[in-house]
Amino acid sequence: MDLTDWLSCAGCGMLVYRKRFDRMGGVCPDCGRHAPLTAEQRLGRLLDPRSGTTVEPAPSVHDPLRFEDLLPYADRLDTARSRTGMDCAVRVVRGTVRGRGVVVAVMDFRFLGGSMGTAEGEAVVAAAEEALKHRLPLLIVTASGGARMQEGAFSLLQMARTSNAMAALDEAGLLTITLVTDPTYGGVAASYATLSDVIIAEPGARMGFAGPRVIEQTIRQRLPEGFQTAEFLLEHGLLDGVVPRAELPQVLQPLLALGTPAEPGWGAAVEDPVIRYPDLLPERPAAQVVKLARDLGRPTTLDHVAAWGGEFVELRGDRAGADCPAVVGGLTDLDGLPVMVIGHQKGHTTQELVRRDFGMPSPAGYRKAVRLMRLAAKLRVPVVTLIDTPGAHPGLEAERHGQAHAIADCLRVMGSLDVPVVSVVTGEGGSGGALALAVADRLLVSENATFSVISPEGCAAILWRSGEAAATAADALGVDAPTLLANGIVDGVVPEPAGGAHVAPEQASEVVRDAVVCALRELREQDGAALREARRRRLRWFGTYREKVAL
Ligand SMILES: [Zn+2]
């Protein structure tokens, strides 16, 4: 056995055949540890062969303070340069990933711990400017211990400098993505790493502002297992996803394809299934519809999106401490037209329902929705929402975190979007928790869905002082599709398979899809500002005698 053919994994200590380890991109086949990659290795794995053109940052002052600790900083820099063959800790390249153009800035931890000095800041700014110039997405791969002490306040200022370079990309509507690798700390974490539209991390990668040692010394406690790891950050709403190295191209490709325009005549072949006259709908007791709307066999938001057939990149987290399981969202495409889908998520079994909080969102759910709506507006992508909730979660934690504020913000932001917005109430449309996702240019309701200010049971208990009056209350509230349509609350009704959506869920999803495509086909021809104005005008006169005149 030739020992040089083998290496020992720093995670589990197992001997790994080097060729296999390399083939897996530096991932241990036993424990899955993602070993650090050099910038060169990373670019080699990410970019299509021979697609890369190096972007040269402007020359920077390299030792502004003539700093000396145990060694002169200038000597440390020389050593890092000769060891890595790099000028600074960041390499910037413009190239393609599976044929899609992108500018990539990659940090190399070997270069003084990936610390951020003036040259590194300059490289990140140059990458952002290159993306701006070519109107390409920017992908940043981070690995850093934080700011470089030897450059003093010059280093500190790089946080503001790079953050504002990111702001320019927001203003230009260009997608930014961060891939967090282990470790990403301090000034890099608190600037460009966390400002990207989409933040994904490699399994086990740690990210934070203060390092674990500093925190432990400050609070004088041991930190819990897994603190600040990618999995921890995902659970706390600070990441969109944890993606193993091998799956990265699959996630990046649909994201990088976002800018591609849909075919001319997009959606022309789809027949509009939406019913616009209440007379065409059967009359039934509202209580019967309420029961159907709650059937656990009805397709959920994730079922609909899966049945629609596009690549779906789920985006998670409110970026403020939580990821609500009762609201899901992400980017997908409808026959090549990118859309941001956001919806309530229930489940088909008790276990799923418990995991999804029965489709009752926390404030974090509405904050995630707002984040994704803003992202859609930035990227000029239409928003599609699917509504199915008994209502927003009533509880101590929800109140403590501003449930009312979060719902109100959703109502305002959604109405203010200058991209097309289509909403479909696919199940239960329960009160403010439902309306928060329903401020649309076209509001549709599924044939057996409901939309109501309060649950019939709640209304009966309060006004009739008896839960037994729920059926009467349901009728009185006008929660069913024909009444909603007749009252002008919704614009149309999406038919369901005979017996209800739960009888043939995939078929039901297809009809919802066709309805959405037909609404978008019309709306996407219109100017964004005009759409917003029409949405606002309609809300302005809603329920008044002037409503019909205004429309
Ligand atoms: Zn291992």
The confidence score (pLDDT) of residue 465 equals: 95
Other CB atoms closer than 10 Å to residue 510's CB: what's the count? Answer: 17
CA of 203 to the centre of ligand 1 (A): 13
CA of 29 to the centre of ligand 1 (A): 7
CA of 17 to the centre of ligand 1 (A): 12
CA of 165 to the centre of ligand 1 (A): 38
Q: Which two tokens stand for residue 409?
A: 């913000």
The confidence score (pLDDT) of residue 551 equals: 47
CA of 25 to the centre of ligand 1 (A): 13
CA of 419 to the centre of ligand 1 (A): 47
DSSP run (H or E) holding 1:
none
The confidence score (pLDDT) of residue 548 equals: 60
Instruction: Please write the tens of the pLDDT for every residue from 42-86.
Output: 999 999 999 999 999 999 988 999 999 999 999 999 999 999 999
CA of 8 to the centre of ligand 1 (A): 8
Instruction: Please write the tens of the pLDDT for every residue from 161-177.
Output: 999 999 999 999 999 99
CA of 16 to the centre of ligand 1 (A): 8
Question: How far, in Å, CA of 319 to CA of 367, rounded?
Answer: 9
Q: Are 448 and 501 in contact (CB under 8 A)?
A: yes
CA of 86 to the centre of ligand 1 (A): 29
The set of long-range contacts for 160-167, using a CB threshold of 8 Å and a minimum separation of 24, is: 160/191, 161/121, 161/125, 162/121, 162/124, 162/125, 162/128, 162/191, 162/192, 163/191, 163/192, 163/195, 165/124, 165/125, 165/128, 165/129, 165/192, 166/128, 166/191, 166/192, 166/195, 166/196, 167/195
Compute φ and ψ for 160, nearest 5 degrees. Answer: -70, -40
Q: Which two tokens stand for residue 525?
A: 């021809």
The confidence score (pLDDT) of residue 333 equals: 94
CA of 338 to the centre of ligand 1 (A): 39
Ordered mean pLDDT values, 10 residues apiece, the chain (551 residues): 85 94 94 96 96 96 94 97 97 96 98 98 98 98 97 97 98 98 98 98 97 92 94 98 95 90 90 96 93 97 97 97 98 95 98 98 98 97 98 96 98 98 97 97 98 94 94 95 96 97 98 98 95 94 72 47
CA of 518 to the centre of ligand 1 (A): 51
CA of 33 to the centre of ligand 1 (A): 5
The confidence score (pLDDT) of residue 69 equals: 94
CA of 15 to the centre of ligand 1 (A): 8
CA of 162 to the centre of ligand 1 (A): 35
User: How many degrees, rounded to 5, is the angle at CA 93 between CA 90 and CA 96?
Assistant: 140
CA of 529 to the centre of ligand 1 (A): 54
Q: Which two tokens stand for residue 297?
A: 């066999």
CA of 4 to the centre of ligand 1 (A): 17
Q: Which two tokens stand for residue 538?
A: 């309609």
CA of 20 to the centre of ligand 1 (A): 13
Using the Cα atoms of residue 503, residue 509, residue 510 and residue 511 in order, give the sign of their dihedral: positive
CA of 28 to the centre of ligand 1 (A): 5
Give whole-number Cα distances, 4 to 13, 17, 24, 42, 203, in Å.
Answer: 16, 9, 18, 23, 27
The confidence score (pLDDT) of residue 547 equals: 65
Give whole-number Cα distances, 179 to 104, 140, 479, in Å.
Answer: 10, 6, 46
CA of 201 to the centre of ligand 1 (A): 19
Pairing of strands 327-334, 337-344: antiparallel
The confidence score (pLDDT) of residue 1 equals: 61
The confidence score (pLDDT) of residue 405 equals: 98
The confidence score (pLDDT) of residue 165 equals: 98
CA of 315 to the centre of ligand 1 (A): 29
CA of 179 to the centre of ligand 1 (A): 22
Q: Are 346 and 487 in contact (CB under 8 A)?
A: no
Q: Which residue carries 């009888």 as its tokens? A: 503
